[in-house]
Each structure stands twice: as C-alpha cells, then as structure tokens.
Structure 1
Amino acid sequence: MKARKYIGMAIFALLVVSCSVSKSSRQQQNILSGSWILNNVSYEGTDGMFKSVLFNDSQAICFEGSQWFFRDNNNTGRYTIQGGSLCQGGDRFIKWTIVEPTNSVSQLQFKFIDEKNKDISGGLGYRLDIANLTENQMTLKSRVNAGGEMVTLVYNFTKQL
C-alpha cells in the first residue's frame, strides 16, 4: 500500500514539474499580456519585393495596423484585421504560449482556436522568435523560404496603453 502512495506522489511531482513555466517565460508572458498594434512587416536578409501570405491567413499588407490582444491568465487572445479590397477583415482567435527551446531565443507560439477555445487548426501552429520584448515595444522574427531563398520576416509591434 505504501508503494502505491509513493508512486502516486512521484507521478504528481513529475506532473507539477513538467507543467510548470520557467520564471523567464512567465515574465515574458506578463509583459506580452495586453493590446498591441502590428506597425509593420518587413523583410530582412534579401533585396526585392515580396508578396506573402502570413499564417495561411492574409497578405502581409493586411497585417499592418492589425490589433493583437494577449491574455496571460489563460493564454488566449486574438488579432483583428481591418477589411479591405485585399483583406478579409475580422477577428482571429488564438491560443498562445512562450516557449524556450534549447540553444535558441524565446519564441511566441500560437495556434488558431474558435470562440469556445477549441483548436480549429488540427494542431498546426506557428512559432516566432522574440527578438525584442519590452513594456512598450516588441519585435518578432520568423524564417521562411521565398522562392528557394531564406528570408526573415520582421514584425514590429507597439503596446497600446
């Protein structure tokens, strides 16, 4: 009987440790919490013009001026794109977290959910490197293949007060 008790306690302890969030990740989540404006999307590491669709959603130009909201108590949020001739406007709901891969910078990871927090992307998600995160500014980066050439997309945000 004692063996079961100890095994149960060991499993519980393992679950607590494996589900905990690092102090650094928690600090970044707290800073990220709130409303942000995506000011611009630019390309680094190459010359030329690109027409890109971000997150299998809309063209990069549609994201400029989009409003992003991150809630840190349940790691949900949304971004809102203004409608236009090139852009399908509206809210996109997300589930997000900060991950800290070994030998890499912290990353914002998110996937699409519905209004009831159910996954609608079949587990597909996105990771963006956190190049800079302060109380007022955020810069995210992602590497993509553009015509056989690796390009870095740079997303510059400003926090709304």
Structure 2
Amino acid sequence: MKKFVFICMMSTILFACKSASSTATSTEGTEISKKLDRPTQVAIKGNWILTNVSYAGSDYIKVNSFDLADSKCFIGSTWNFISNNNKGTMTLNASSCTAFTSPIVWSINNQGLFVLKIVDPGTKSKNVRSGYLLKVAGLTDNSFQLIDNINVGGQTKDVTYQFQRAN
C-alpha cells in the first residue's frame, strides 16, 4: 500500500510539473507546440510571392533553402496558404533554376513559429515527419517575413524570406 501511495504521489508531481501547452517532438527532437495561432494563420492565407531572400554574407556563401535549391531560386516563387486546413502549394519558377512544385502543410504555433512541411508526390501529409521551423515577422496585410536560422562557420545567421501578397 505504501508503494502504491508513493507511486501516486510521484505521478502527481511528475504531471504537475509538465508544461501547460501540448507539445510534439519532430524526428529531429525539436519540440513544437500543437496549439495554433489562428489569427496569424488567417492573416497569411491566400497567394503570396517570395520577393527577396537576404542574409549576411550572401555574396560569399550559398544557402540551400529547405534542402531543395539555392536560396536565390526562391525569389519569384509563388506560395498558396489555405488556413482552414493548413495546406497549400509552393512553386519555384526562376528561369535560371530547375522548376519545382510541391504541396505543403503549414501552421503557425502559439510561439510565433511557422511550421513548414514539404510533401513529396505520392506521400500523405500525415506521413511527413520532418519539416522546418521559421519565425514569422513583420506581418502586415500585404507582406510578411519568414526567418530561418543557419549555421555558418559555427555561428548562427538569419536567412530572411520576404513575401508580398499576390494581386
């Protein structure tokens, strides 16, 4: 009986210390909140054009964005965000780069992180276990930024993706 009471007390302490927000762990071990920032998601819904990619040292270093292509290939790409089902598409169409179109799954958690999963053809989005976490910044009716962190020579640098609403 004493062991049972002890186990109950330890369980209560363990669960009482757990964070109030639900979290999910990706395959890379990064914790992300399952609670969503619905107002920000609604503000981002629609069609967007990625107009600029900027980062310190862009003249000297090449960034492979989202493990797909050189970051400069994303300039001019079109993105569609559907907020009611957190799906959409991205299309790379720069003339000097390989064309690419893919469905995406996205959300914005309550910590302001944009969660992006690129879905391979023939794969169900629920089976995609890896993705990207980016910070949402500068959100207005007609523009916003996604900011990624990269490691350059042991230092963390920001890569900023600038979006403009498509007409």
Distance change in 2, residues 1:152/1:43 (3 Å): same
Q: Retained in 1: the 8 A contact 2:75–2:94?
A: no
Aligned-pair distance for 1:149? Answer: 2.4
Q: Which amino acid aligns with 1:56?
A: D
Cα 1:56–1:151 change in 2 (3 A) is same
1:74 aligns to what?
85
Q: Which amino acid aligns with 1:157?
A: F
Alignment partner of 1:38 out of 25, 50, 55 = 50
In 2, Cα distance between equivalents of 1:115 and 1:47: 31
Q: For residue 76 of structure 2, what is the aligned residue in structure 1?
A: 65
Q: 1:29 aligns with which of 41, 47, 54?
A: 41
Give the deviation of 1:79 after TM superposition.
0.8
Match of 1:13 in 2: none
Structure 1 residues 117 and 33 mapped into 2: Cα distance closer, same or farther (>3 Å)? farther
Larger CA Rg, structure 1 vs 2: 2
The size of the alignment, in residue pairs, is 137
**Residue 111 to residue 65, structure 1, CA distance change in 2 (3 Å):** same
Q: Following the alignment from structure 2 to structure 1, what is the Cα–Cα distance between the partners of residues 94 and 127? A: 22
**TM norm structure 1:** 0.74
Q: Does 1:98 align with 2:108?
A: yes
Distance 1:89-1:149 versus aligned 2 partners, 3 A rule: same
Alignment of 1:142-153 (within 5 A): 142-153=148-159
- Give identity over the alignment, percent: 33
Kept in 1: contact 2:49–2:166 (CA 8 A): yes
Counterpart of 1:53 in structure 2 is 64
**One-letter identity of the residue aligned with 1:80:** T
Tell me, which stretches of 5 or more residues in structure 2 are unaligned? 1-20, 23-33
Q: Output the CA distance in 1 between the equivalents of 2:130 and 2:80.
A: 20
2:116 aligned partner: 110
Q: Is the 8 A contact 2:73 2:92 kept in 1?
A: yes
Deviation at residue 95 of structure 1 after TM alignment: 0.5
Structure 1 residue 148 displacement after superposition? 2.2
CA contact (8 A) 2:119 2:128 kept: no
- Amino acid paired to 2:53: V
- Shift >4 Å, 4+ stretches: 114-117
CA distance in 1, matches of 2:48, 2:64: 21
Show structure 1 runs of 5+ residues with no match. 1-16
Q: Deviations over 1:61-102 (max 9, x none)?
A: 1000100110111110111011544x220312110111123x
Task: Let me know the Cα RMSD of the aligned residues.
Answer: 2.6
5 Å-filtered alignment, 1:12-23, equals 21=35
